[in-house]
C-alpha cells in the first residue's frame, strides 16, 4: 500500500497501490497517516510524498468506491480530509514529488503539501463536477488562495488536467525538473531544509498555516455555502456520476 523510509532526517512515503492508481482509500490514507506519525516521533526535518518509480498516475484521488452516496462525501471526518489537515499541521515541510497525473482530491493533497516538485509528466485535475459533486469550503478556499480565480474556475468547470508547463507557470509547482532529475533534485531540496533549524522551520510553517487559513466568513455566507453543497450532493446527478464511473461510460447528467 505504501513504502516508508527515513534517511538523513528526511522521511519518504511512497504511494504504492498501482492496481487502483493510488486511489486514496481509507486504508491507504490510514497507512500514510501512520507513517507521518512515525516520522513525527523520529523528528524528521522534511518529508517527501511520492508515487512508486515509473507510476503513470501519482494518485487518482479519493477512492470513488468509498464515496458516500446521497450525501456530501467530503465531510470534515472524511479520511482524505483528515490527511490534508495532517499534512498541513505536520511539524516539518512536506514536499510532493510528482511524476504522473494527479486527480481530484489528490490535487488537493498535493496543494496541501508545502512544496511541489514535478517533472514533465505531471498534470493536475480537480474533478468533482465529473461525478456530479461540488467541492468543500476548505478545499475551495485552498484553491482560491493559491491560484488566480479564473484558473480555479477553469480547473473546476472543465475538470481537465493542467499540464506540467501550466502548473509551473501558475506557481502550482515550486520546480519543474526533468524526470531523470526529479528524485535527486527533490532529495537535495529536502536535505537543504533538513539542515536548517527544525524548530524555526516548524514554527514558520505553523505561523503561515494559521495566517493563511484564518479569514472571517459571515455565518450566513457559511450556511449558504453548506446548503449549496448539500443540495447537489443529494442530487440524482451525483448518483449518475458514480454509476457512470463504475460502468466505465460517460455520465448523462440531467441537472437534477
Q: Does 61 bind ligand YXS (CB under 6 A)?
A: yes
Active site residue 105: yes
Which of 11, 61, 62, 139 does the annotation list as catalytic? 62
Rounded to a whole number of angstroms, the CA Rg of the chain reads 18
Q: Does 126 bind ligand YXS (CB under 6 A)?
A: yes
The Cα 206–Cα 213 span in angstroms is 10
Specify the 3-state DSSP secondary structure of 74.
coil
Residues 6+ apart with CB under 8 A from 232: 132, 133, 134, 238
Is the Cβ–Cβ distance between 106 and 58 less than 8 Å? yes
Which of 11, 99, 135, 238 does the annotation list as catalytic? 135
Q: Given the rule CB under 6 A, which of 115-123, 125-133, 146-154, 229-237 is the region that contacts ligand YXS? A: 125-133
Q: Which position among 63, 114, 119, 183 is part of the footprint of ligand YXS (CB under 6 A)? A: 63
Q: What are phi and psi of 124, to 5 degrees?
A: -135, 125
- Nearer Cβ to ligand YXS, position 11 or 104? 104
Q: Does 128 bind ligand YXS (CB under 6 A)?
A: yes
Active site residue 54: no
The Cα 73–Cα 128 span in angstroms is 11
Chain residues that interact with ligand YXS, rule: CB under 6 A: 20-21, 23, 57, 60-65, 67, 73-74, 103-105, 126-128, 130-131, 133, 135
Amino acid at each position: 500500500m505504501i513504502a516508508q523510509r527515513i534517511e538523513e532526517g528526511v522521511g519518504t512515503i511512497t504511494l504504492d497501490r498501482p492496481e487502483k492508481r493510488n486511489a486514496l482509500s481509507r486504508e491507504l490514507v490510514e497507512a500514510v497517516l501512520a507513517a507521518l506519525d512515525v516520522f513525527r516521533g523520529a523528528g524528521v526535518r522534511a518529508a517527501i510524498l511520492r508515487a512508486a518509480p515509473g507510476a503513470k498516475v501519482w494518485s487518482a484521488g479519493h477512492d470513488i468506491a468509498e464515496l458516500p452516496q446521497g450525501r456530501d462525501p467530503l465531510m470534515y471526518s472524511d479520511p482524505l480530509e483528515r490527511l490534508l489537515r495532517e499534512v498541513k499541521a505536520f511539524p516539518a515541510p512536506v514536499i510532493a514529488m510528482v511524476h504522473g497525473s494527479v486527480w481530484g482530491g489528490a490535487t488537493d493533497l498535493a496543494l496541501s503539501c508545502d512544496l511541489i516538485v514535478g517533472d514533465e509528466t505531471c498534470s493536475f485535475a480537480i474533478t468533482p463536477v465529473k461525478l456530479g459533486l461540488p467541492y468543500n469550503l476548505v478545499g475551495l478556499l485552498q484553491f482560491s488562495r493559491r491560484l488566480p480565480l479564473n484558473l480555479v474556475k477553469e480547473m473546476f468547470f472543465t475538470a481537465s488536467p493542467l499540464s506540467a508547463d501550466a502548473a509551473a507557470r501558475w506557481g502550482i509547482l515550486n520546480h519543474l525538473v526533468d524526470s531523470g532529475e526529479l528524485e535527486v533534485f527533490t532529495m537535495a531540496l529536502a536535505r537543504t531544509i533538513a539542515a536548517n533549524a527544525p524548530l524555526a522551520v516548524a514554527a514558520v510553517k505553523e505561523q503561515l498555516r494559521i495566517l493563511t487559513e484564518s479569514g472571517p466568513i459571515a455565518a450566513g455566507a457559511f450556511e449558504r455555502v453548506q446548503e449549496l453543497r448539500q443540495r447537489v450532493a443529494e442530487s440524482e446527478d451525483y448518483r449518475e456520476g458514480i454509476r457512470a464511473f463504475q460502468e466505465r461510460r460517460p455520465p448523462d447528467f440531467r441537472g437534477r
